[in-house]
Each structure stands twice: as C-alpha cells, then as structure tokens.
Structure 1
C-alpha cells in the first residue's frame, strides 16, 4: 500500500476529537489566554504574570524554587526570568545565606506593574468563567485542581 488509504472516521475508531479532555483544555486555555492578553497591562504573558505574582506573594526566592512553585521546568523558568530582568521587572542578588545562590525578586517597576496586573487578572477570571453558573464555576475549579 502506498499511503493512499482513507483515514477511518470517528464512528469507525471511536475517537471524537471534540470530546477529548486535552483538546477541550487547550481550547479553554486559548480562550483564557486571549482574554488575558486583551486585559492585563504591560504586555505580560500568563506565564510571566504567574512568576511575578508568585514573587509578589512569597517574596524573593531562588530561580529553582520559583520555577517549581509555578510548575515550570528549569529551562523555561530561566527564559522567563531572563526576559523579565531585561524588561526591568525583576532583579537578582546574591543570597546572604548561600553565596552560591541568587535570589530573584520584583524590581520597583515590577511591583507597580503586578499591582495593576492583578486587578486585570481578576477580570480575566470573571470573563473566562462567565458562561458558567456559580456552582459550575466552583465544580470546574475543584475538578481542575484535582487533575493538576
């Protein structure tokens, strides 16, 4: 056979793309990302926002701990941190307790931006969940937390 076989239909193989969790999560995330980018100031991505918010909440920390705290691998964390440093939103300094380690923190400009961004992020959550009832929202968030 030369590869000209007709693909099987959903009815034949029993797999409906529109019913799959990964496909639906990706579509929901795309919707959320579009809303996020339209509302959150400072041209921040959702990932950059997560890093900055974690630092705002928990204070300075190592890049390794920061990445783990927002569920990112080391390479991704380094890229995000480097880009935010280049934009003047984060800074680093040596850890006084361990001279081999550097601590990442928000810069003064970063503090100002994350304060504004948090208010916008609340609107993003509201807009994303808008089609759902309060009970559906609570159920969705509870179930997503279990999956995650």
Structure 2
C-alpha cells in the first residue's frame, strides 16, 4: 500500500486532481473491507445457504423476541424492500413465522420458529469467528479502535 497521506479539501485551497488517490479514499477502503468480510462470512456460513442480511435478521429476532417487519428493518439497517425479501425467504425456509399483533391487527409480528432458534444458535459461534478472522491483521487495540470508529460513522 502506498504511504501517500490523503489530503483533505480544507487543508489546501489548491487541491489538484493529481492529489486524489482512490485507494486512499474511505469509500474504496470500506468497499475492500466489506469484500474481505463478505468472503470470510461466505467461507464460514455458506454451507447453511444464509446471507449476511438473513443472519442479521435472525440475530435481531433472537435478541428481541417478536418484531414488526418495519422495526426489524430499522434495527438491521435494511430498507423496506430489502427486509421484505429477507423475511419472505426466511419464512419460506421455515425459520421465522408471523402472527397478528394483538394491539394493532393491521400489523404482523415476526418471530423465530423452533428451527430458526436452532439455526441461529448454531450460527452465532461462526459470527464470532468471522469477526475474529476479519480483524485478524489488526492488533487488539486496533480492533477495538476500528469497531469504535465504525460505530461512530454508522
């Protein structure tokens, strides 16, 4: 990796396009980090035919018990179209089920089925492994720092 310091626009009034290096820009670096994390996720969870968004939904339902689809989408940072597809696929696999909300009959609540509970209990240990493997090139202090910084900009 090059050691060119990325320039901030405010550091100079005369930024040249020659000063811009895509490999030092946050979007590019986050995309590369995401590609690494996705590949590690696939190597650890691919056998279960589960996606990262499905895993996140199952984890949140495990944590919260029952949630509306809208609330689950907000908690997992998925837009309405994405969470709708995720929940449909999880229902098709028998991992989640719905029931009418007693306080608002127009709303359905999602919850894990017994099979969903078994699956997420099996997958969560792999979630720890994925994080450990993704962050392995960093020191423990750097690992803590990157998590803190990513939470700050998320």
| TM-score with structure 1 setting the length | 0.89
1:137 aligned residue (134, 140, 143): 143
In structure 2, what is the Cα distance between the partners aligned to 1:106 and 1:96?
A: 18
- Tell me which residue corresponds to 2:54: 48
CA shift, 1:14, in A, is 2.4
Q: Give aligned pairs, total.
A: 138
- Tell me which residue corresponds to 1:128: 134
- Tell me which residue corresponds to 1:7: none
CA shift, 1:51, in A, is 0.5
1:117 aligned residue (118, 123, 126): 123
In structure 2, what is the Cα distance between the partners aligned to 1:119 and 1:80?
A: 22
CA shift, 1:13, in A, is 3.5
**The residue matched to 2:147 in structure 1 has which SS?**
helix
RMSD: 1.2
- Tell me which residue corresponds to 1:18: 23
After TM superposition, which residue ranges in structure 1, 4 or more long, deviate above 2 angstroms?
Answer: 11-14
15 and 91 in structure 1: CA distance in 2 versus 1, 3 angstrom threshold: same
| TM-score with structure 2 setting the length | 0.86
CA shift, 1:87, in A, is 1.1
**The residue matched to 1:18 in structure 2 has which SS?**
helix
**The residue matched to 1:71 in structure 2 has which SS?**
coil
- Tell me which residue corresponds to 2:74: 68
CA shift, 1:12, in A, is 4.7
In structure 2, what is the Cα distance between the partners aligned to 1:37 and 1:88?
A: 21
**Relative contact order: is structure 1 or structure 2 higher (C-alpha 8 Å, sep ≥ 6)?**
1
In structure 2, what is the Cα distance between the partners aligned to 1:46 and 1:66?
A: 14
